[in-house]
Amino acid sequence: MRRPGARSLRILATALLVTPLWARSQNSFDVVSIKPNRSGAAGSETDTTPGRVSVINATPLSLLLRAFGVSRFQIIGAPDWATTERYDLVATVPDGRVLNDRDRQAFFEQMLADRWQLRFHRETRNLRVYSLVNDGSKMAQHAGPGEYGMKVELTGPRVILRSTRGNMGRLAEILTGNVGGTVIDDTKLTGEYDFTLEWVQDARADDAGPTLVTALREQLGLRLVSAEKPAPVVVIDRFERPSEN
């Protein structure tokens, strides 16, 4: 059998490189502006409109969470500055598309690889988690047009989550920030849902209402189950501050 010459090997290597780059371009923002935010504000804002995504006052860690669709405890090895520094990101989307949470994961991952030199690998580790399961879903599946939105409002001791075209992966992320542990989506519900979830953070408050666990069960037909189980994690091998615009 004749072995390929050096020129043939170079052509083959070039072909192998070109194909992934072409595939990646399908999930790349057209233009991305990244600037440090020094406002000192506490929260962040995300806005998705046709052809545009903006994330204002976001930590690098929150961008990683958006890219991988996982909870905070599933990101291993992120540098300390990723939780303290804040940035404004404005990006344009090819063809004027509107991206929901799932759609934009690949866009964020590619942007982080290009501008933040992100390198990572995936593992499975045993974690103490809360499993979010379907206990007879009461949520209405979204039908027709309407912009995506999952927003949390605070009214005294009450917390209200309003969802339009929401998904269970994002709900698990929001719950993780409210139950003190990782929430894994095990509902097997893959659609987009409209719902309102309302609970109280402090059951001792004068304006008493259901706890989060009770509200999930009674209002949405979902249940949180504590368990130790294998969970996917993303291990950060390299992550640097973003390149200049």
Question: Residue range 60-69: average pLDDT?
Answer: 93
Sign for the pseudo-dihedral over CA of 99, 87, 201, 126:
positive
CA dist., res. 105 & res. 186, Å (int): 19
Tell me: pLDDT of 22 over 50: no
Residue 44, pLDDT > 50, answer: yes
Quick one: average pLDDT of 176-201?
90
Write down the pLDDT at residue 34.
96
Calculate mean pLDDT across residues 125-152.
90
Q: Encode pLDDT of 88-97 as tens digits.
A: 999 999 888 8
At 103 the pLDDT is 85
Q: Does residue 147 or residue 110 have the better pLDDT?
A: 110
Determine the average pLDDT of the residues in 227-233: 85
- Is 231 in contact with 130 (CB distance < 8 Å)? no
Predicted TM-score (pTM) of the model is 0.60
**Mean pLDDT within 218-242:** 93
Query: Which residue's entry shows tokens 């950060």?
Result: 236
Give the residue-averaged pLDDT of 128-146: 91
Q: With contact defined as beta carbons under 8 Å apart, do 80 and 198 qualify?
A: no
Which residues share a beta bridge with 35? 88
The pLDDT value recorded for residue 18 is 35
pLDDT of residue 19: 31
User: What's the pLDDT score for residue 207?
Assistant: 58
What is the rounded distance in angstroms from the CA atom of residue 13 to the CA atom of residue 7?
Answer: 10
**Continuous segment of H or E residues that includes residue 6:** helix 6-25
Classified as helix, coil or strand, 38 is coil
Sequence-ordered alpha helix ranges (H) in 70-222 = 101-115, 168-179, 212-215
